[in-house]
Amino acid sequence: MTAFGDPVDAVIIGAGIVGCAMARRFSLEGASVVVIERAPDILSGASKANSAILHTGFDAPPGSVELQCVQAGYDEYMQIRKDFNLPILDTGAMVAAWDDSEEGRLPELLDQALLNGVADARLLSRAEVLAREPALGAHVRAALLVPREVIIDPWSAPLAYATQAKALGAQFRFNAGLLSARLDGRLWHLELPAGTVTARSVVNCSGIHGDTVERILLGEAQFEIRPRKGQFIVFDKAAAKHLRTILLPVPTARTKGVVLTRTIFGNLLVGPTAEEQEERERPDVTRPELDMLFAKAVELVPALAQAQVTAVYAGLRPASEEKHYRVHSLPEKGYFCAGGIRSTGLTAALGIARHVHGLWAQSQAASGKPTVAPQTFTLPNLAEHLPRDWQTPGHDGIVCHCEMVTGREIEAALGSPLPPGDFGGLRRRTRCAMGRCQGFNCLARLASLTEGRLSVPIAPEVDR
Amino acid sequence: MIAETYDVAIVGGGPAGLSAAIELKRRGVEKVALCERGAEAGGIPRHCGHPPFGMREFGRILTGPTYARRLVAAAAATGVTILTKHAVVHAGPDGLLTVATPAGIQTIRAARILIATGARETTRAQLLVPGVRPLGVMNTAALQAFVYQEGRVPFRHPVIVGSELVSLSAILTCRSHGIRPVAMVETEQEVQARPAFFALPRMLGVPVMTDAQVLAIEGSPRVTSVRLRLAGGTETALACDGVIFSGRFIPEAALVEASALALDLGTGGPVIDQHGRSSDPNIFAAGNMVHPIETAGHCWDEGRRVARVIAAGLANAKDAEPDKTPGRRIIAGAGLKYVVPQRLTPEGKGTAPTLNLRALGAARGRLILSDGSGTVLRTQNINSAPKKPIRFPLAGLDLAVDSSDLQLRLEPRP
Ligand SMILES: Cc1cc2nc3c(=O)[nH]c(=O)nc-3n(C[C@H](O)[C@H](O)[C@H](O)COP(=O)(O)OP(=O)(O)OC[C@H]3O[C@@H](n4cnc5c(N)ncnc54)[C@H](O)[C@@H]3O)c2cc1C
Ligand SMILES: Cc1cc2nc3c(=O)[nH]c(=O)nc-3n(C[C@H](O)[C@H](O)[C@H](O)COP(=O)(O)OP(=O)(O)OC[C@H]3O[C@@H](n4cnc5c(N)ncnc54)[C@H](O)[C@@H]3O)c2cc1C
């Protein structure tokens, strides 16, 4: 069995949003880190499929770790985003009420927002709502406006965190699912398909497998993951003109509900559903739910009846048997867990990373290592409302015409410090084949351009 | 930035755009530019490595790539300025085109614009097909680009969804590259192309399953099976390593949408009159952009016809300010998916067009053309496969007598 190098300070299990942010924070604070991920690329679990909203925490449980992490994550994102060229689409959000009982709940939501420090939240009358969003269904009653909720690029942000971690020395191992683990005195030995890693501590960021991984490490788990599926429909770009503000429903105890929002890529998104399921590996889309989402979108914005569908997808939230985050630690064993990050992880990741790193640092005997120079670099912009590569002279032509992705961008992604491991990873780094034709025009070309450069190739065989 | 100026700018270098360009030059139009977003002009036929193409145009049967090369050579020979890697992102009412090129964004100004951006097949996502999203799911055109352009075989045992002409083209493409389709699945009650054609899959041992629903696509990272509910209600799983979604063409209308031209919900393309003129009198459209989908020869012919109208308009000074009267609307009534053109303008009287239409489902019964008062003007019996193009000639009718809406509907045969 090969051992991969010397023991490191921390192994981070899982390269979802949380694992990527964790790797960055630990690396920034001077810790040596290995990230192990069972998939061929980062963002292969819950983190590949979300609504891409950067939340203010206006509706989070007051006093919770979640609220603290969401707000810390929000602030840190806003602080660092310019360094990495990470975009926001400044939309604001509206919790819209469509009947008496929903309207009756708006004041209490406002109170909660104010209590959570979201001081600019305010109620809008029906006339104000319609003035802001004239395409909304006429039966809208009122809304709570949360001006600082914005849309981000859900893939470039964690990619920036991971790339920075890598620049600071973090190692990433893909196709490296944890098989078994042994704690030997003060050292963890983690067995992977291609060898073992040794570390002084382990940070569990394994999302949908948070409990499984905890069981592998500790023999038992303090929590149980209850996957909750969210399905989405992405409408074509022409539909995006109908809405500016993120449209949120009045939340229920179980879910934030079905959202209608623009994406940073210029589309309009409706979803997610909230469906409990046992199965952890199969985020499938299903017809009745997609039909329901379509109907819901038309109910909210009637003009969408004619909208074209660009894509459908589903994500599995790593929810647990309880509503709150499952963040805990066993310092004496060098075990730290950021589990059950079900529906706000995109926003909270940077905050969770700070929080967990804090727990870890407390457990370290020495006063900790010196922090290192942060190493920033810019990521290619994928946001539709900001200058894209195709607008800049000198590219060698467009490969994906629906999303206007140039050959230069594909090449840059393949040659980047954290190159894609599979086609999904390439799509998330460039937007290629994500548009209305879903590869009708470019898929074959992309198979050739990526030949020998993805650990899971687009097409398996070559016939010449 | 100073805009390059042309008499006519054509968007899209497929059969329709190329034939229009050639015809314009033949008729003495001086400066004709053709913008093609791909690295070469030629359109879809470039990657259809099979016949039949070219009968009408060249009097012989060619494969798609040969046909495309010939059209491009003919256009180049007549002096058309072919601008490849030029993707048009906006067409303005003032004749201004915004074009994405490797040298950045450029502007082209033209007295007339012709949009001939073709059509594409409906994707799995648009059909809201359930299941997971593995590698190996693609349209016929993507498969053809794999095997004919890139020399790659993306799978060995795919399921073909659809039963249009292009679905048969998918079978042929597969068979000539050692790919053995597992089945041909049609969600409608009957095959969509002419039934006689389905001797082909039968001969090749590819079962054709009509009235079958795709319950789920399974597999990770590649397709491993498709679950189906068959006509009788039984459920089954077909092991496969790919899925081809064939047909259900829709116009490549992004440019039309971005440019705020009137759209027809039936075709998904721009509303045009019998001359191919859109709601902007300086912007024309032709090819599969206006009627998804016809053969390459039909699109070629249409490009030529629209080019004649454009050339005449440019030559005739008093017609330079084109007729802006909306004309008579033609509405696709009960039983019909679309009717093209959607308008008849009084201009160029005497050139009574033939309507091009598609039924919703099986086309059996009587087509009835009536005017605003409900008076029946003409009827025609039809009996053809669902996706087969139907023609309804207007020759001999005097349609200039009033301006009420015309309606064409299909009365199904009992
Ligand atoms: C439908 C939906 C909508 C959402 N909308 C929003 C939103 O608008 N705003 C917001 O802030 N948040 C949103 N979220 C929440 C956010 O996406 C999640 O909280 C976040 O993605 C969770 O990240 P994670 O890193 O904990 O989990 P994951 O992304 O699942 O990452 C866990 C990783 O661990 C890996 N792994 C698992 N087991 C092992 C093993 N044994 N060995 C090695 N690796 C392993 C997995 O492959 C995976 O990559 C949404 C979530 C969903 C599903
Ligand atoms: C798989 C398949 C098999 C077929 N087999 C046959 C056959 O055997 N025989 C037959 O007769 N027909 C066949 N056809 C149909 C035939 O290909 C079409 O009828 C024909 O190509 C339509 O011509 P067109 O000019 O309208 O559009 P296309 O051929 O689709 O050309 C449109 C062109 O416009 C370009 N374009 C699009 N948008 C822009 C933009 N914004 N800026 C610049 N350029 C743009 C595209 O890149 C493309 O080159 C087949 C079609 C398919 C998909």
pLDDT-derived band at B260, boundaries 50, 70, 90: confident
Check whether residue A267 and residue A146 sit in a common domain: yes
* pLDDT attached to residue A462: 55
DSSP β-ladder status, B328-332 and B343-344: antiparallel
Check whether residue B112 and residue B128 sit in a common domain: no
Min Cα distance B248 → chain A (Å) is: 13
Report if residue A169 sits inside a domain. yes
* pLDDT attached to residue A388: 97
Check whether residue B188 and residue B242 sit in a common domain: yes
Q: Inspect the interface and report whether the beta carbons of B153 and A463 lie closer than 8 Å.
A: yes
Q: Which atom of ligand 1 is nearest to the CA of A339?
A: 26
* pLDDT attached to residue B321: 55
Q: Inspect the interface and report whether the beta carbons of B254 and A440 lie closer than 8 Å.
A: no
Report if residue A404 sits inside a domain. yes
Mean pLDDT over the full length of chain A: 95
Check whether residue A271 and residue A393 sit in a common domain: no
Check whether residue B112 and residue B82 sit in a common domain: yes
* Among candidate residues B210, B227, B247, the one where a domain is terminated: B247
Q: Please indicate whether residue A110, judged by its CB atom, sits closer than 6 Å to ligand 1.
A: no
Min Cα distance A93 → chain B (Å) is: 26
Q: Residue A140 belongs to what domain range? A: 88-152+227-317
- Write out residues 306-345 of A within 8 Å (CB-CB) of B: 306, 308-313
Sign of CA dihedral A343, A344, A350, A354: negative
Mean pLDDT for the stretch of residues B11-35: 98
B377: left (phi over 0), alpha (psi -120 to 50) or beta: alpha
Check whether residue A139 and residue A237 sit in a common domain: yes
Most A CBs within 10 Å: which of B132, B152, B249, B288, as the mutation test of the A interface?
B152
Check whether residue A201 and residue A338 sit in a common domain: yes
Q: Inspect the interface and report whether the beta carbons of A440 and B121 lie closer than 8 Å.
A: yes
Check whether residue A147 and residue A231 sit in a common domain: yes
Q: Residue B54 belongs to what domain range? A: 1-121+248-324
Check whether residue B233 and residue B154 sit in a common domain: yes
* Residue B350: pLDDT over 50: no
Q: Residue A171: how many CA atoms within 13 Å on its side-chain side? A: 16
Please give the distance of CA B155 from its chain centroid, rounded to a whole number.
Answer: 27
Check whether residue A133 and residue A240 sit in a common domain: yes
Q: Please indicate whether residue A18, judged by its CB atom, sits closer than 6 Å to ligand 1.
A: yes
Min Cα distance A104 → chain B (Å) is: 36
Tell me the C-alpha distance between B50 and B357, whole Å.
Answer: 27
Report if residue A277 sits inside a domain. yes
Mean pLDDT for the stretch of residues A85-111: 97
* pLDDT attached to residue B158: 98
Q: How many domains does chain B have?
A: 3
Q: Per residue in A29-38, pLDDT tens? A: 999 999 999 9
Q: How far apart are the first and last CA of chain A?
A: 39
Check whether residue A38 and residue A141 sit in a common domain: no
List the CATH number of the domain containing B73: 3.50.50.60
Query: Among the listed ranges A136-145, A397-406, B340-349, which one has the minimum average pLDDT value?
Result: B340-349
pLDDT-derived band at B272, boundaries 50, 70, 90: very high
Q: Of the ligands numbered here, which is closest to the C-alpha atom of A231?
A: 1
* pLDDT attached to residue A1: 46
Q: Please indicate whether residue A39, judged by its CB atom, sits closer than 6 Å to ligand 1.
A: yes
Mean pLDDT over the full length of chain B: 93
Q: Of the ligands numbered here, which is closest to the C-alpha atom of A216?
A: 1
Check whether residue B107 and residue B13 sit in a common domain: yes
* Residue B318: pLDDT over 60: no
Residue in this structure with the two tokens 């099976």, named with its chain if needed: B225
* Residue B337: pLDDT over 60: yes
Q: Per residue in B370-413, pLDDT tens? A: 998 999 999 999 998 888 889 999 988 888 778 899 999 999 98
Q: Does any CB of chain A come closer than 8 Å to the CB of residue B224?
A: no
Check whether residue A97 and residue A122 sit in a common domain: yes
Tell me the three state secondary structure of residue B254: helix
Mean pLDDT for the stretch of residues B358-364: 89
Mean pLDDT for the stretch of residues B26-53: 96
Check whether residue B187 and residue B41 sit in a common domain: no
Check whether residue A435 and residue A290 sit in a common domain: no
d(CA A354, ligand 1 centre) in Å: 18
* Residue B319: pLDDT over 80: no
* pLDDT attached to residue A366: 65
Report if residue A78 sits inside a domain. no
Check whether residue A244 and residue A299 sit in a common domain: yes
Q: Of the ligands numbered here, which is closest to the C-alpha atom of A20?
A: 1
Q: Inspect the interface and report whether the beta carbons of B126 and A448 lie closer than 8 Å.
A: no
pLDDT-derived band at B1, boundaries 50, 70, 90: low
Q: Please indicate whether residue A178, judged by its CB atom, sits closer than 6 Å to ligand 1.
A: yes
* Residue A371: pLDDT over 90: no
CB B306 within 8 A of CB B291: no
List the CATH number of the domain containing A18: 3.50.50.60
Q: What percent of chain A has pLDDT over 70?
A: 96
Tell me the C-alpha distance between B120 and B139, whole Å.
Answer: 9
CB B308 within 8 A of CB B21: no
pLDDT-derived band at A257, boundaries 50, 70, 90: confident
Report if residue A108 sits inside a domain. yes
Task: Please give, one letter per residue, the 3-state secondary structure of B99-153.
Answer: EEECCEEEEEEEEEEEECCCEEECCCCCCCCCECCCECEEEHHHHHHHHHHCCEE
* Among candidate residues B324, B345, B377, the one where a domain is terminated: B324
* Among candidate residues B273, B304, B324, the one where a domain is terminated: B324
Report if residue A208 sits inside a domain. yes
List the CATH number of the domain containing B398: 2.60.40
Task: Tell me how far CA of residue A238 lies from CA of A262, A266, A389, B115, B254, in angstroms.
Answer: 11, 9, 21, 18, 8
Q: Does any CB of chain A come closer than 8 Å to the CB of residue B262?
A: no
Q: Inspect the interface and report whether the beta carbons of B149 and A439 lie closer than 8 Å.
A: no
Work out the number of other CB atoms within 10 angstroms of the CB of residue A120. Answer: 13
Work out the number of other CB atoms within 10 angstroms of the CB of residue B394. Answer: 19
Check whether residue B162 and residue B268 sit in a common domain: no
Mean pLDDT for the stretch of residues A77-97: 97
Task: Tell me how far CA of residue B223 lies from CA of B78, B140, B150, B169, in angstroms.
Answer: 48, 16, 21, 22
* pLDDT attached to residue B384: 86
Q: What percent of chain A has pLDDT over 90?
A: 92
Check whether residue B2 and residue B62 sit in a common domain: yes
Check whether residue B117 and residue B252 sit in a common domain: yes
* pLDDT attached to residue B352: 65
Nearest to A444 among B128, B149, B156 (CB): B149
Check whether residue B5 and residue B52 sit in a common domain: yes
Q: Of the ligands numbered here, which is closest to the C-alpha atom of B300?
A: 2
Q: Please indicate whether residue A317, judged by its CB atom, sits closer than 6 Å to ligand 1.
A: yes
Check whether residue A209 and residue A178 sit in a common domain: yes
- Write out residues 118-177 of B within 8 Å (CB-CB) of A: 120-121, 123-126, 128, 130-133, 135, 138-139, 141-142, 145-147, 149-156, 177
Report if residue A459 sits inside a domain. no
Q: Inspect the interface and report whether the beta carbons of A459 and B146 lie closer than 8 Å.
A: yes
Q: Inspect the interface and report whether the beta carbons of B130 and A396 lie closer than 8 Å.
A: no
List the CATH number of the domain containing A417: 1.10.10
In degrees rounded to 5, what are phi and psi of residue B214? Answer: -85, 115
Q: Inspect the interface and report whether the beta carbons of B126 and A395 lie closer than 8 Å.
A: no
Structure-token pair, residue A260? 């209608």
Check whether residue B113 and residue B139 sit in a common domain: no
Nearest to B152 among A390, A392, A463 (CB): A463
Q: How many domains does chain A have?
A: 3
Check whether residue A100 and residue A194 sit in a common domain: no
Mean pLDDT for the stretch of residues B200-225: 97
* Residue A188: pLDDT over 80: yes
Q: Which residue has the higher pLDDT, B305 or B388?
A: B305
d(CA A399, ligand 1 centre) in Å: 30
CA-CA-CA-CA torsion for B55, B181, A402, A87, nearest 10 degrees? -170
Min Cα distance B323 → chain A (Å) is: 30
List the CATH number of the domain containing A102: 3.30.9.10
Check whether residue B103 and residue B128 sit in a common domain: no
* pLDDT attached to residue B62: 97
Mean pLDDT for the stretch of residues A284-296: 97
Report if residue A463 sits inside a domain. no
